[in-house]
A and B are shown apart, each in its own frame.
Chain A
Amino acid sequence: MAEPRFETVPAVRESLRDVGYLADEGIAGVVYLADRLGKPVLVEGPAGTGKTQLAKSVAEMTGARLIRLQCYEGLDESKALYEWNYKKQLLRIQVERESSTWQEIEDDIFTEDFLLTRPLLEAIRADDPVVLLIDEVDRVEVETEALLLEILSDYQVSIPELGTVVAKQIPLVFLTSNNTRELSEALKRRCLYLHVDYPTLEREKEIVTTRVPDISEHLADQVVRIVRSIRQLELKKAPSVSETLDWARTLVLLGIQNVDADQAKETLHILLKYQSDIAKATKELTVS
């Protein structure tokens, strides 16, 4: 087993803070465990709570290269794992048509020279430290999920013509999911599970003040408190952390020091994206 990357949970939290990601106890703990146990982390939670950002920040913090696989419907082996560069193979065959025997050519064209590595294989073969991010894994079909299983549990890829490629080092792997469908048991079992929810009031305020440096203490406090109130309503889509940040930036740009009901109403469309939500929030915030 390789050297652990992190000493303690608080150390993880500290270094994440240094790169501008404010983790809570749970997040830092799971990142720490992921390293110690050598297991991938499945990050779930509402949109815009910093799931992808977590992987990016961990990469930045450990000085590792981030390899990202964006999932979508119809993703297959040749886009996720590897593909034979058949054009190059054809050329090769044509060049050697006269001179070589079939056996020689076959041995030759199925070598690493003719292999196009895709994100997953690349992460496995990397010599330098990498963080692998498999984004929005819930978008692929259940059948495609199986592609990931070998990588996630054994950190290896089997290529029929070439043999098994085993990872030189165990990379940190993050999978994110927006929970549009239930992931398979097999996948979940191989991962540590982390649910990232909307942050607490204090943490969100800290996030606002770090990410929007120009904001005054008072305004930041008001912003997060209003956002918390809005999240308590039954909405189609509650405001995410990134929307909170956008709103805070807007208020700073407008030169507002103290949000009153009217200003809140006018800028609400930055926080909320549905007309019915905006109407509801306006009503709730102005009539007590």
Chain B
Amino acid sequence: MLDLLAGFIQELRTAGLPVSLTENLDAMEAVKHIPLEDREAFKYALAATLVKSNAHWKAFETVFEVYFSMRGPEYDIKQDGEGEGLDDAELQALLQAMQGDRPAGQGGGMDGLTPEELAEMLYKALMNADEAMIRALARQAVTRYSGMEPGRPVGGTYYLYRTLRQLDLEGMLQRMMDAERQSAQDGGGLTPLEERLARDEYEVRLDKLRKEIEAEIRRRLVADRGTEAMAKTLRKPLPEDIDFMHATREELTALRRALQPLTRKLAVRLARKRRHGRKGPLDFRNTVRHSLSYGGVPAEPKFRYPRPSKPEIMVIADISGSVAAFARFTLQLVYAISSQFSKVRAFVFIDGIDEVTRYFEGVEDITDAVHRVNTEADVIWVDGHSDYGHAFEVFWERWGKEITTKTTVLLLGDARNNYHASQAWVVQELRKRARHVYWLNPEPRSYWDTGDSIVSEYATFCDGAFECRNLKQLERFVEHLG
């Protein structure tokens, strides 16, 4: 047990969770008080002692599943083929009840069923929200459709895809909705509200089924390949470490979700920083006024607190394909905390440049505005390949005069200029007029200035060029900005 826990904690650390030695000891202590056969309680005991942030919960859960999926009676997998994991007497009885017209004891559980019958049973189980049944059927579906073979070097997602394709969950949802409509026929049909509620309910159930299938596949893969190998393949970056440029669609959703609490935190922190800046020079009037309550003795010196003016931000972002996600997140972040700046203006470019501030004005939903920026802004000049030089030139001509000493300019992009002229003099001019000019690059520093990237040419004229590959780095930069 100790070995197992040690391995488990090691894996958590590799996955990026900060687990300290004391927390490790706490976990050991905690499991002593928990009946080991209670898997849920065991999981919560570990979570309470080891995971100290909700963002890490998902990573924890995955690692937990891998390490402890083989334990606990209900999760036993019989390795000898016949009736895999389905010999539970209770389950068997359930099956019989569901099958109804089938003669009892035929064909060892579900193995004898035709695919149509299996689908039918699944449908019934989903309609009745019968969890035990859904779990059993998920297992059966995996056995049948995933085509798993020991030692085959294919990822779990492949098996998942194969299984789900056979089950046709979309069709299942449709069928359940039809049944719902049918049964409501007498009462005058479903109102849109009822329809929506029913759909949500069924989607939740289907989601449960999907999770069961996923868990089942994972269990089998663990059995096949061993815990460590499996943990390694399942290791995913935490939301704050996801690379903007290479995020999958799923990861982008995770990022979006992580962004919202982040902006809230950031806004609070910036506001606080503004209020609690360092002390300024002595405020003579105020000190004298307060000295009256001490009989004229200036016992309590008062200081003038500096109130730094809020910076004005100009974001100039490359939104061509490769760096679009990065631009989107940065715009979203900057606008979400726009109350911390006196003014925010946004410009986007590919080879042409366009001001998009208007999309954000008076809009409550920033996501929506960012979406409109990506679809409606006029950013194509010739061929739709990034041309920083031309974009900067146009910017300088049209908006250069509006830059004041209060303005901070953020330049966003990978500076991959497709071998066009750099026109770096624009950045130099910007630097002369503006308070600060920063360059944010979503590429790893080691890629800078390779190929057609000319970031250094611009960076020499900036106050700083930063690598911003993930939320963590972006957060650090924005905080520094406020």
Binding site for B on A (CB under 8 A): 9, 25-26, 29-30, 32-33, 36-37, 39, 41-42, 44-45, 73, 141, 179-182, 185, 188-189, 191-195, 197, 201, 222, 225-226, 228-229, 232, 234, 236, 259-261, 264, 274-276, 284-288
Contact with A along B327-364 (1 / 0, CB 8 A): 00000000000000000000000000000000000001
Q: Are A276 and B261 in contact (CB under 8 A)?
A: no
Residues of A within 8 A of B26 (CB): 37, 39, 192
- Beyond A37-B29, A287-B192, whether A228 also contacts B200 by CB under 8 A is yes
Can you name 16 A-B pairs with beta carbons within 8 Å?
Answer: A9-B38, A25-B40, A33-B33, A33-B34, A33-B45, A37-B26, A37-B29, A37-B30, A39-B26, A188-B52, A192-B48, A193-B51, A195-B57, A201-B204, A225-B201, A264-B193
* A285 and B199 alpha carbons, distance in the complex (Å): 12
* A73 and B192 alpha carbons, distance in the complex (Å): 47
Smallest CB gap from A38: residue in B? B29
Which B178-219 residues have a C-beta within 8 angstroms of A?
A: 191-193, 195-197, 199-201, 204
Q: Are B192 and A229 in contact (CB under 8 A)?
A: no
Further pairs besides A29-B34, A29-B41, A286-B193: 7, Cβ < 8 Å: A29-B40, A33-B34, A37-B26, A189-B22, A193-B48, A226-B197, A288-B192
Residues of A within 8 A of B41 (CB): 9, 25, 29
* A228 and B198 alpha carbons, distance in the complex (Å): 11
Residues of A within 8 A of B53 (CB): 182, 188, 193
Q: Are B265 and A229 in contact (CB under 8 A)?
A: no
Q: Are A189 and B261 in contact (CB under 8 A)?
A: no
* A193 and B60 alpha carbons, distance in the complex (Å): 13
* A78 and B441 alpha carbons, distance in the complex (Å): 48
Binding site for A on B (CB under 8 A): 18, 20, 22-23, 26, 29-30, 33-34, 38, 40-41, 44-45, 47-49, 51-54, 57, 191-193, 195-197, 199-201, 204, 261, 264-265, 268-269, 272, 276, 364-365, 367
- Identify A286's interface contact among B49, B192, B261, B365, CB under 8 A: B192
Smallest CB gap from A221: residue in B? B197
Q: Are A285 and B196 in contact (CB under 8 A)?
A: yes
Residues of B within 8 A of A188 (CB): 52-53
Q: Are B44 and A25 in contact (CB under 8 A)?
A: yes
Residues of B within 8 A of A192 (CB): 26, 48-49
* A9 and B51 alpha carbons, distance in the complex (Å): 20
Residues of A within 8 A of B34 (CB): 9, 29, 33
Please provide the 10 A-B residue pairs with the shortest distance between their CB atoms, ordered closest to farther: A276-B364, A29-B44, A188-B52, A288-B192, A261-B193, A192-B48, A36-B33, A193-B52, A26-B44, A195-B54
A248 smallest CB distance to B (angstroms)? 16
Q: Are A33 and B48 in contact (CB under 8 A)?
A: yes
- Identify A288's interface contact among B195, B268, B269, B276, CB under 8 A: B195
Residues of B within 8 A of A276 (CB): 364-365
* A229 and B202 alpha carbons, distance in the complex (Å): 12
Which of B38, B40, B197 has the most chain A CB atoms inside 10 A of its CB?
B197
Smallest CB gap from A41: residue in B? B48
Residues of B within 8 A of A44 (CB): 54
B64 smallest CB distance to A (angstroms)? 13
Smallest CB gap from A279: residue in B? B364
* A285 and B52 alpha carbons, distance in the complex (Å): 36
B172 smallest CB distance to A (angstroms)? 19
* A218 and B51 alpha carbons, distance in the complex (Å): 39
Residues of A within 8 A of B52 (CB): 42, 188-189, 191, 193
* A261 and B190 alpha carbons, distance in the complex (Å): 11
A176 smallest CB distance to B (angstroms)? 14
Residues of B within 8 A of A260 (CB): 191, 193
Residues of A within 8 A of B261 (CB): 179
* A44 and B55 alpha carbons, distance in the complex (Å): 12
Q: Are B40 and A194 in contact (CB under 8 A)?
A: no
Residues of B within 8 A of A33 (CB): 30, 33-34, 45, 48-49
Q: Are A180 and B268 in contact (CB under 8 A)?
A: yes
Q: Are B367 and A225 in contact (CB under 8 A)?
A: no
* A236 and B40 alpha carbons, distance in the complex (Å): 32
* A185 and B52 alpha carbons, distance in the complex (Å): 9
A43 smallest CB distance to B (angstroms)? 11
* A151 and B330 alpha carbons, distance in the complex (Å): 41
Residues of B within 8 A of A180 (CB): 264-265, 268
Q: Are A261 and B40 in contact (CB under 8 A)?
A: no
* A179 and B20 alpha carbons, distance in the complex (Å): 21
Smallest CB gap from A192: residue in B? B48
A189 smallest CB distance to B (angstroms)? 6
- Identify B200's interface contact among A25, A26, A229, A261, CB under 8 A: A229
Smallest CB gap from B201: residue in A? A225
* A276 and B368 alpha carbons, distance in the complex (Å): 12
- Identify B193's interface contact among A42, A197, A285, CB under 8 A: A285
Residues of B within 8 A of A264 (CB): 193
* A195 and B365 alpha carbons, distance in the complex (Å): 28
- Beyond A29-B45, A29-B48, A37-B30, whether A288 also contacts B196 by CB under 8 A is yes
B330 smallest CB distance to A (angstroms)? 20
* A276 and B363 alpha carbons, distance in the complex (Å): 10
Residues of B within 8 A of A141 (CB): 272, 276
Residues of A within 8 A of B265 (CB): 179-182
A233 smallest CB distance to B (angstroms)? 11
